[in-house]
């Protein structure tokens, strides 16, 4: 069975295969773009609707990333093998990548839904937007959700605590969060998400501390710790703060 015919003498690694309940075969792998730079690649995805006899044109479900970034001590490799689950409405892939500047655990997918969804990731940087494409009559939407390894609720900036304080308070507004209480002497303030219909507000505490020549900002969840809503709010706050201190 040949999934992709490639005459570039390049590398494809971490291949992953899963079969949906309806018999669709999904395959994902990392494709190296240039044999001279094997560390640079992107995750590709393809499907077969006829038991593997033919496959759809592969699409990229991740940006290009450097697999040599963030290697652990005495382990010259990126994470470990990928894993994919296929359903009748699409597939979900768990994989390691470095789009965020270090080794991250990522979740990507191809879905049979014509709906554009913007997905952001905790750890800073920009949102990743992928446009839907049609493959053999199936609308595929590529999604990337990056969960930063380590303390995603803390960030250090090489600016004074006074400057970071002012920008952090302003960033809460940019991230559509409301400051409800502040104590500049203690360098902390509380903020919350706006309460919307049929949805309760979620609160956070932000603390600033001197860290060498810089300032460390730590956000603590006061409600629903570990929830998707809290994670998105923290990611939006740090993204707004990153933009202000850039």
Q: What is the CATH number of the domain that holds 237?
A: 3.30.310.80
pLDDT value of residue 60: 80
Do residues 159 and 245 touch, judged by C-beta distance below 8 A? yes
Residue 204 lies in a domain: yes
Do residues 122 and 231 touch, judged by C-beta distance below 8 A? yes
Examine the fold and report which residue of 118, 147, 176 is the final residue of a domain before the chain moves on. 147
Examine the fold and report which residue of 123, 147, 171 is the final residue of a domain before the chain moves on. 147
pLDDT value of residue 145: 42
Evaluate if residue 120 carries a pLDDT over 50: no
Examine the fold and report which residue of 147, 164, 188 is the final residue of a domain before the chain moves on. 147
Are 65 and 122 within one domain?
A: yes
Residue 24 lies in a domain: yes
Are 125 and 16 within one domain?
A: yes
Residue 2 lies in a domain: no
Residue 223 lies in a domain: yes
Residue 4 lies in a domain: no
Residue 5 lies in a domain: no
Residue 127 lies in a domain: yes
| Separation between Cα atoms, residue 187 and residue 165, nearest integer Å | 7
In which domain, by residue range, is 46 found?
12-147
Strand intervals (E) in the chain: 12-19, 25-32, 40-48, 59-60, 65-66, 83-87, 90-97, 104-112, 133-135, 138-147, 154-157, 178-183, 188-192, 203-211, 214-221
| Separation between Cα atoms, residue 113 and residue 172, nearest integer Å | 33
Structure tokens at 120: 């952001």
Evaluate if residue 141 carries a pLDDT over 70: no
Strand intervals (E) in 113-213: 133-135, 138-147, 154-157, 178-183, 188-192, 203-211
Are 20 and 102 within one domain?
A: yes
pLDDT in tens, 15-29: 889 998 888 898 988
Are 110 and 89 within one domain?
A: yes
What is the rounded average pLDDT of the residues 200-214?
Answer: 90
DSSP lists the bridge partners of residue 109 as 92, 143
pTM of the model as a whole: 0.48
pLDDT in tens, 91-105: 888 888 877 777 777
φ, ψ of residue 47 to 5 degrees: the values are: -135, 155
Report the candidate in 212, 237, 238 with the shortest Cα–Cα distance to residue 158.
212
Evaluate if residue 186 carries a pLDDT over 60: yes
Do residues 179 and 169 touch, judged by C-beta distance below 8 A? yes
| Count of structural domains within the chain | 2
| Separation between Cα atoms, residue 15 and residue 6, nearest integer Å | 15
Give CA separation, 159 vs 35, 174, 179, 183, 188, in Å: 41, 20, 22, 19, 17
Q: How far is CA 118 from the centre of its chain?
A: 11
């Amino acid at each position: 069975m040949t999934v992709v015919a490639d005459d570039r003498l390049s590398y494809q690694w971490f291949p992953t295969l899963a079969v949906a309940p309806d018999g669709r075969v999904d395959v994902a792998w990392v494709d190296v773009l240039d044999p001279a730079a094997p560390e640079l690649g992107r995750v590709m995805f393809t499907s077969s609707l006829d038991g593997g006899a033919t496959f759809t044109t592969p699409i990229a479900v991740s940006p290009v990333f450097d697999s040599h970034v963030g290697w652990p001590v005495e382990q010259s490799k990126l994470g470990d093998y990928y894993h994919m689950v296929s359903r009748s409405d699409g597939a979900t892939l768990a994989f390691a990548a470095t789009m965020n500047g270090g080794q991250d655990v990522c979740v990507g997918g191809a879905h049979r839904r014509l709906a554009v969804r913007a997905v952001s990731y905790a750890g800073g940087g920009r949102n990743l937007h992928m446009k839907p494409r049609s493959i053999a009559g199936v609308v595929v939407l590529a999604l990337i959700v990056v969960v930063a390894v380590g303390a995603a609720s803390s960030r250090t900036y090489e600016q004074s605590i006074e400057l970071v304080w002012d920008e952090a308070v302003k960033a809460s507004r940019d991230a559509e969060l409301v400051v409800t209480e502040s104590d500049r002497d203690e360098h902390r303030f509380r903020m919350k998400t706006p309460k919307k219909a049929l949805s309760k507000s979620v609160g956070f505490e932000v603390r600033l501390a001197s860290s060498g020549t810089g300032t460390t900002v730590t956000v603590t969840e006061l409600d629903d710790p570990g929830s998707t809503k809290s994670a998105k709010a923290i990611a939006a706050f740090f993204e707004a703060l990153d933009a202000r201190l850039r």
